[in-house]
Amino acid sequence: MALIPELAVQGAQMVLVLLLAPLLTGFVRKVKARLQRRRGPSLIQPYRDVVRLMRKEVVLADNASWLFRVTPYLIFAATWVAAALIPTFATGLTFSWTADLIAIVALLGSARFFLALAGMDVGTSFGGIGASREVMIASLAEPAMLLIVFSLALVAGATQLSTVAAFMASPDVGLRVSLGMSLIALVIVAIAENARIPVDNPATHLELTMVHEAMVLEYSGRHLAMIEFASFLKLLLYVSLVSCVFIPWGLVTSGARPQLLLLGAVTYVGKLAVCGILLAVFETAIAKMRVFRVPDFLGVALMLALLGTLLLFVSRSL
Amino acid sequence: MISIVALLLWGVAALLGTAMLAIAVSRRDSATQLVYGLILGIAALVFLAVSSHLVGDPAGVSAVTLPLGLPWIGAHFRLDALSAFFLVVVNLGGAFASLYGLGYGRHESAPHRVLPFFPAFLAGMNLVVLADDAFTFLLSWEFMSLASWALVMAHHREPDNTRAGYIYLVMASFGTLALLLAFGLLAGPAGTYTFDAMRAAEPTRFVAAAVLALMLLGAGSKAGLVPLHVWLPLAHPAAPSHVSALMSGVMTKVAIYGFIRVIFDLLGEPAWWSGVVVLFLGGLTAVLGILHALMEKDLKRLLAYSTIENIGVIFVSLGLALAFKANAMPSAAALALTAALFHVLNHSFFKSLLFFGAGAVLTATGERNMEKLGGLIHRMPLTSFVFLVGCVSISALPPFNGFVSEWLAFQAILQSPDLPQWGLKVMVPAVGGLLALSAALAAACFVKAFGITFLGRPRSAAMEQVREVDRYSLAAMFALAALCLLAGILPGLVIDGISPVTLSLIGNRMPVQMAQPWLSIVPIAESRSSYNGLLVLVFITISASLAAVVIHRFASHALRRGPAWGCGFPDITPAAQYTAVSFAQPIRRVFGTFAFRAKEKVEMPPPGATGPARLTVEMHDVIWETFYQPIAGAVGYASEKLNRLQFLTIRRYLTLVFLYLVTLLLVLALWP
């Protein structure tokens, strides 16, 4: 029976992303703090936060509907499924064909759809401001992301992420202008989607330009824990996506021997650390943007991604 | 044994009979139940007959000629795979609309203006799809237009409805004129009006180009292609909601049918540039439609504008199919055409559902303006649930159906770098970007539609007495919501159902999907791309339940209700909530400056003064102002000038007649 070890690897991946996600966020926070010459919270602070939130009681606004209470679970589930479908340490997992990259992007879109609705449910102006800005950002980030997917798919001949990653690791890929453009665009999209500086500030609660935090303002207790966890997962997802497509070395195939799988997992953690440090450095070096500068920033991603796709339509080798 | 076409024509005759009956009984109390009940039965039977034909003998063609219409032609009717698919769309939509009408129609203030025309409208749409000669097609098309016009004018005393009806009538006549000319060109000098003869004829390149242009005008104006869409957001919302659902969900599809029938079937091999034209118009329509929808605060008009967007999406896939067909890439063409037809079916499901929902809101609150709604999720939990399903489906989010057709369209785009022509090489990725943009904007638009209407706090006092709608309406909406989910998790079933159509039009089909392991859909090969809506749903359900179980087991169960937190500044009045206009403000700032020439002006009181500040937003309907206002102005100017001719003396009239006669004779004499 080859199915059982393969299922085990798939399960291991699901658990791995769940376990690593808060650590990555904690790590980025720690590096940022060190760069700002602060000591910073402990690496495992995000785990503690989640546990603490789960122990607290939920304070629900009088006007909150059933949608408000269901949304945290939906968001968490959609993000978790999406994260589990990205090849983190191994390609060709048992269920990797369930959804290709377009579907993964759309799954994240579902999560955002419900989060924006939850922001509007209670009927405060903060929720509305967050939701309306979130959909504005998404209306630029999502097409950019899809055009990046087009570029990758045209280079690799597939939208299936396992195939893309395997192709990227092979020597056929070479240096391409379009891939460079896609990388820059993908990083910009990842920053915007994860509500990082300069698009949004994950560390503050009261800032006029806040987007993500404004939507979840009314959440508390276990609901907030789910939403926080989903945003940890989302950061991990984008970092895994960038690393599996643009630094695919060290990925193993699902059927490999356990030692190799372990090695793959270690490499993966190393990649997360490198990307985390880069993110922290970038966030420390740059200032938060005014909200209506964000379209310009995302417009760069959109144009680069479009240009990359156009180049590939002109010539497959660019 | 009666042939299937004859059976369907009996169904149409029964619908027309129902229309006659409705005239007779429409002023009685029980008329609504009787008429909609009859239509529901007939439409369901026709649907069953067609689907059994599709399942049993998908490639079978059945034709019949009736001695009606022009004496030397007769009326030809024919059922093939393409018309069978569209008959499914028409009658499924019709059945659900009449089920909804059973409940909704009871609130109708003027049933005698709706009941006779509703079955006639449905019969007209069935006839268009069945017609097999130009004369029958045009006659049925015009019948469909007029019946729907009568339904638009059902509430003719309401402000703006007369204008909507007038513009609709003008645009419909213009569209039929274009179709008439297109069929005239196809028929050629010999005047062979049957579709068989047109199929056999080989038109010259000029004729083919002219037919394409005329079909884009004729079918495009009925479908709502930009810039011919102007009547649609006026007329569709003006009709009663179940008619709006039929017009948006089904009649636009009949227009798509006309386009496919002529361009893919009758016209023969397409030229490659026809793909460029259709792609460009489709992309433009999709983005402009959804941007207009985003700026809208009337719920039904928002839905009508979103119909325009979906028509654009369908035309993008059709343009791709044309480009592939012209370049002899049949498997890619089959993929693109499947995407288009899948979206036709999907849109008929979720747009009907959403219009039913808007109708339910209208019945319950008497309000279409979202700025006065809000908080309905507490008062109408079931309606809001199904409306949410519709919103998720139309926003192309997995695991619902809208995503599948969108995904297929993207897969078709990824096949296109092999196209040889540079025009297509540049156009396709640009249109792909527009498609992605319109999908993202659609999600934003339906966050707004659902969020402002159903969530938040009620924006007017009338919301307190709102009640859930009747069971018939709910049944229709729940059935459609279930279909949205089913088509999303079992897309292979639909794709295999569409394959006879692509086989007959393109000569190729997508691989058999229902044989794939785990019911995935795989357009080309699994290593390239695959999607499995069923497993996505299962995984989301499992992980959400897992999370819920863990939370239930380990987390605190304490829950307290309290006033909203709002950063310590809870808004006293519901008016301080975000409204439809303010929700769209960020997007208006990003896209509105070029799409609507939007200008915002803030008038602040001088420092120290306590007067209110004022924000005015100025927006322009660019298409209306550039294309239609000049035409309307010219017509007005000309009639102003010609008006003088009405007040001449008899002497001058005689002079005019004499001059006219001389000119005519001169022309005749000089004619080569």
Interval A3-48: pLDDT, tens: 787 788 888 888 999 999 999 999 999 999 999 999 999 999 999 9
Element containing residue A59 per DSSP (H, E):
strand A58-61
- Do B439 and B500 reside in the same domain of the chain? yes
Which of A56, A143, A313 shows the shortest C-beta gap to B428?
A: A313
Does B574 touch chain A if contact means CB atoms closer than 8 Å?
A: yes
β-sheet bridge partners, residue B194: B133
Task: Please state, as a whole number, how many other Cβ atoms lie within 10 Å of the Cβ of residue A314.
Answer: 15
Best A232, A313, A316 residue to mutate vs chain B (most B CBs within 10 Å) = A313
Does B587 touch chain A if contact means CB atoms closer than 8 Å?
A: yes
Is residue B244 situated within a structural domain?
no
Q: How far is A285 from chain B (nearest CA, A)?
A: 27
Which of A95, A125, A159 shows the shortest C-beta gap to B576?
A: A125
Best B536, B569, B582, B588 residue to mutate vs chain A (most A CBs within 10 Å) = B536
Q: How far is A77 from chain B (nearest CA, A)?
A: 5
The amino acid sitting at B100 is Y
Does B332 touch chain A if contact means CB atoms closer than 8 Å?
A: no
Is residue B285 situated within a structural domain?
yes
Is residue B80 situated within a structural domain?
no
* Closest chain B residue by Cα to residue A107: B398
A208 vs B contacts (CB less than 8 Å):
none
Q: Which tokens hold the place of B397?
A: 């989010």
Which of A67, A147, A206 shows the shortest C-beta gap to B436?
A: A147
Return the exposure string of B346-374: e unless at least 16 CB atoms fall within 10 Å of the residue's CB, then b. bbbbbbbbbbbbbbbbbbbbebbebbbbb
Residue ranges of B 143-182 with Cβ closer than 8 A to chain A: none
β-sheet bridge partners, residue B521: B531
β-strand pairing of B62-66 with B75-79: antiparallel
B430 vs A contacts (CB less than 8 Å):
306, 310
- Do B384 and B473 reside in the same domain of the chain? yes
- Do B616 and B630 reside in the same domain of the chain? no
Which of A81, A157, A163 shows the shortest C-beta gap to B536?
A: A81
Does B520 touch chain A if contact means CB atoms closer than 8 Å?
A: yes
Domain range for B656 is 626-670
Is residue B349 situated within a structural domain?
yes
- Do B510 and B545 reside in the same domain of the chain? yes
- Do B516 and B598 reside in the same domain of the chain? no
- The residue to which tokens 């793959």 are assigned: A264
- Do B531 and B652 reside in the same domain of the chain? no
Is residue B180 situated within a structural domain?
no
A115 vs B contacts (CB less than 8 Å):
none
Which of B398, B456, B555 shows the shortest C-beta gap to A106?
A: B398
* Closest chain B residue by Cα to residue A227: B547
d(CA B351, CA B307): 7
Contact A102 B407 (CB under 8 A): yes
Contact B543 A80 (CB under 8 A): yes
- Do B597 and B663 reside in the same domain of the chain? no
What is the model's pLDDT at position A255?
Answer: 72
Burial of B662 (0-12, 13-18, 19+ CB in 10 A): exposed
Instruction: With a cut of 70, say whether residue A124 has pLDDT above it.
Output: yes
What is the model's pLDDT at position A290?
Answer: 86
B397 vs A contacts (CB less than 8 Å):
106, 109-110, 113
Contact B561 A57 (CB under 8 A): no
Number of A–B residue contacts, CB under 8 Å: 289
Q: How far is A14 from chain B (nearest CA, A)?
A: 10
Is residue B341 situated within a structural domain?
yes
Q: A95 to each of A21, A98, B61, B514, how far by Cα in Å?
A: 21, 5, 42, 18
Is residue B257 situated within a structural domain?
no
- Do B515 and B605 reside in the same domain of the chain? no
Under 8 Å between Cβ of A143 and B474? no
B572 vs A contacts (CB less than 8 Å):
none
A163 vs B contacts (CB less than 8 Å):
527-528
Q: How far is B523 from chain A (nearest CA, A)?
A: 11
β-strand pairing of A90-91 with A252-253: parallel
Instruction: With a cut of 90, say whether residue A157 has pLDDT above it.
Output: no
Residues contacting A81, CB < 8 A, separation 6+: A107, B536, B539, B540, B543
Within chain A, where are the H helices? 3-35, 45-55, 66-84, 101-121, 125-156, 161-169, 177-193, 212-215, 221-246, 258-285, 294-314
Q: How far is A220 from chain B (nearest CA, A)?
A: 10
Q: What is the mean pLDDT of each run of 10 residues along chain B (672 residues)?
A: 87 95 88 93 95 84 85 87 95 96 88 93 96 93 95 90 94 95 89 87 90 96 93 94 94 96 91 94 96 94 96 96 93 94 96 96 92 92 96 94 94 89 90 94 96 92 86 95 95 92 89 81 81 92 94 90 83 85 92 88 90 90 92 94 89 94 95 80
| Straight-line distance from the first to the last Cα atom of chain B, in angstroms, rounded to the nearest whole number | 58
What is the model's pLDDT at position B74?
Answer: 85
Best A68, A80, A98, A227 residue to mutate vs chain B (most B CBs within 10 Å) = A98
Contact B567 A80 (CB under 8 A): no
Q: What's the mean pLDDT in A101-113?
A: 94
Q: How far is B271 from chain A (nearest CA, A)?
A: 21
Is residue B573 situated within a structural domain?
no
Q: Which tokens hold the place of B386?
A: 């199904």
Residues contacting B19, CB < 8 A, separation 6+: B116, B117, B118, B119, B120, B123
- Do B342 and B441 reside in the same domain of the chain? yes
Does B531 touch chain A if contact means CB atoms closer than 8 Å?
A: yes
Best B373, B387, B559, B600 residue to mutate vs chain A (most A CBs within 10 Å) = B559
* Closest chain B residue by Cα to residue A131: B583
B407 vs A contacts (CB less than 8 Å):
102-103, 106
The amino acid sitting at A305 is A
Query: What is the reported pTM?
Result: 0.95
* Closest chain A residue by Cα to residue B432: A147
Does B24 touch chain A if contact means CB atoms closer than 8 Å?
A: no
Q: What is the number of structural domains in chain B? A: 3
What is the model's pLDDT at position A205?
Answer: 65
> How many CA within 13 A on the CB side of residue B434?
26
Q: How far is A29 from chain B (nearest CA, A)?
A: 24
Residue ranges of B 389-408 with Cβ closer than 8 A to chain A: 392, 395-398, 403, 407
Q: How far is B578 from chain A (nearest CA, A)?
A: 5
Which of A61, A306, A310 shows the shortest C-beta gap to B562?
A: A61
β-strand pairing of B614-618 with B599-603: antiparallel
- Is the ipTM reported for this complex over the cut 0.85? yes
d(CA B245, CA B105): 14
* Closest chain B residue by Cα to residue A91: B527
β-sheet bridge partners, residue B561: A60
Our measurement of the distance from residue B558's CA atom to the centroid of its chain's CA atoms, rounded to an integer in Å, reads 48
Best B386, B400, B583 residue to mutate vs chain A (most A CBs within 10 Å) = B583
The amino acid sitting at B159 is P
Under 8 Å between Cβ of B287 and B442? no
What is the model's pLDDT at position B50?
Answer: 92
- Do B281 and B406 reside in the same domain of the chain? yes
What is the model's pLDDT at position B430?
Answer: 92
A129 vs B contacts (CB less than 8 Å):
578
Does B516 touch chain A if contact means CB atoms closer than 8 Å?
A: no
Q: How far is B672 from chain A (nearest CA, A)?
A: 51
- Do B526 and B464 reside in the same domain of the chain? yes
B539 vs A contacts (CB less than 8 Å):
77, 81, 84, 95, 98
- Do B474 and B331 reside in the same domain of the chain? yes
Q: Is the dihedral of CA B487, B491, B495, B496 positive or negative?
A: negative
Of B298, B289, B292, the residue nearest B580 (C-alpha): B298
B562 vs A contacts (CB less than 8 Å):
59-62
